[in-house]
Amino acid sequence: MKKFLALLLAATLLFAFAACSGKTDDTTTTAAGSPDSQASDESTAPATDVDYSKVKVGLICLHDENSTYDNNFIQALKDTQKALGLKDDQVLIKTNIPEDDKCLSAAQELADVGCNIIFADSFGHEGYIMQAAEEFPEVQFCHATGTHAKTANLKNYHNAFASIYEGRYLAGIAAGMKLNEMIKDGKIKAEEAKIGYVGAFDYAEVVSGFTSFFLGARSVCESATMKVTYTKSWFDIALEREAALSLINDGCVLISQHADSEGAPKACEEKGVPNVAYNIDTSSMGPNTAIISSKINWSPYYELAITAVAKGEEFAADWCGSLKTGSVQLTKLNEKVAAEGTQKALDEATAKLENGEIKVFDTKTFTVDGKALDSYKADVIPDDKFEPDTEVVKDGAFHESDVDGMRSAPYFDIKYIDGISEK
């Protein structure tokens, strides 16, 4: 097991999914009120007859509220605290915890003060959270974006994510509608419907996100193309601003992102370029350009896991939330900027995604190097080899985050489907 953990920690340094750069000083605060298979459609409504008085919750964040990524976790926990009636001393939040042995120390400290369920939000925390799970078998550890829960053989270690690609797809529809409006109004020609995308790293989570976004846009604007650039950082205001401006100067007429600062949205507002963001509503910083944002709502998972601990029940080793569970959301549409008819189009597409009529990665809707994707093996099962191991194209679609309930974290890593290129 020690050898496995050492390999895992090494891999973490290379493949950190959900990190964002920023402060490194450790801060602990209290929150103020505001089975073994994947369970994407499992009800997450809080139980009304459950005694939560013996529950103490810990949350470990890579950064703090200044990061849109970490802030999303923090605010969701505060909402959950309010929904479940937890007191302030029942919820402890540790911020600015790096992806090193300080994460293990943070987990140990939370367990030592009585936390019986502990969450961590960054991929690079996984190895240390697994070590803590071994050390404290009576404590449940839940790790977002991780990959090892189904194979670790630890009953108190869990992974969680959400089908955010559905939200990205919907946000892409809003983008495509805007492109169509710009074409109709004569602002651009059809062949000029070029999207710019500011990505942090070329990891599967980012690739899955911008591909689903593009497929949503292409579903309503057939001439849409996309240029992707990478900042090599999860959180860097200056780099994200620079990347957005570079894409705009390169002829991109709409910008989206998978990076965690306001750099790109503010650059778009400055240049008068429509923007689709991630994790937060950016309409206040871009009232004339912000259209909509997609986000993961972590409250349903918090409620499910905390309720299970309160009741002394087991819960999923690897869980993936969805539109149906309320885990995938869109921010309020900015009607001032959005194209006419966008909300109707979003409502219709949401219903079709929920009933299975639309599959985001339907292989009839895209090609790779001019060819249909009939078969693809992805690295789904975690090990130290990082080799493709699982067939993920079934029934005419790439099955993201749902292959036999093995892994909720994204593994769509095809760079690039036709229509997308790297700047």
Q: What angle do the packed helices 164-184 and 204-218 form, to 10 degrees?
A: 40
Instruction: At 355, list the tokens.
Output: 């009933």
Please, which pLDDT band fits residue 197 given cuts at 50, 70 and 90? very high
Range in 11-25, 162-176, 249-263 with the lowest mean pLDDT: 11-25
Instruction: At 14, list the tokens.
Output: 């290379």
**Mean pLDDT of all residues in 269-285:** 95
pTM (predicted TM-score): 0.88
The three-class DSSP label of residue 357 is coil
Is the predicted pLDDT of residue 282 greater than 50, yes or no? yes
Residue 165 is inside which H or E element, if any?
Answer: helix 164-184
**Mean pLDDT of all residues in 57-66:** 94
Q: How far is CA 11 from the centre of its chain?
A: 20
Distance CA 301, CA 389 (A): 28
What Cα–Cα distance (Å) separates residue 326 from each residue in 79, 133, 320, 334? Answer: 14, 28, 11, 21
Residue in the structure block whose two tokens are 């290379």: 14
pLDDT of residue 66: 86
Contacts of 152 (CB under 8 A, 6+ apart): 130
Please, which pLDDT band fits residue 384 given cuts at 50, 70 and 90? confident
Please, which pLDDT band fits residue 22 given cuts at 50, 70 and 90? very low
Burial of 404 (0-12, 13-18, 19+ CB in 10 A): exposed
Sign, CA torsion 273/192/195/248: negative
Please, which pLDDT band fits residue 243 given cuts at 50, 70 and 90? very high
- Please, where are the H alpha helices in 250-406? 263-271, 299-311, 342-354
Range in 261-265, 337-341, 405-409 with the lowest mean pLDDT: 405-409
Burial of 5 (0-12, 13-18, 19+ CB in 10 A): middle
Q: What backbone torsions phi and psi does residue 371 show, to the nearest 5 degrees?
A: -120, 150
Is the predicted pLDDT of residue 420 greater than 80, yes or no? yes
Residue 249 is inside which H or E element, if any?
Answer: helix 237-249
Contacts of 339 (CB under 8 A, 6+ apart): 174, 177, 178, 180, 181
Is the predicted pLDDT of residue 49 greater than 70, yes or no? yes
pLDDT of residue 28: 67
Domains of the chain and any CATH numbers: 2-162+297-321 (3.40.50.2300), 164-295+332-375+411-422 (3.40.50.2300)
Q: Residue 240 CB: number of other CB atoms within 10 A? A: 26
Distance CA 119, CA 54 (A): 17
**Mean pLDDT of all residues in 151-162:** 95
Q: Residue 188 CB: number of other CB atoms within 10 A? A: 18
Distance CA 174, CA 176 (A): 5
The answer to whether 197 touches 255, Cβ cutoff 8 Å, is yes
Residue in the structure block whose two tokens are 């036709």: 418
**Mean pLDDT of all residues in 330-347:** 98
Burial of 3 (0-12, 13-18, 19+ CB in 10 A): exposed
pLDDT-above-70 percentage for the chain: 88
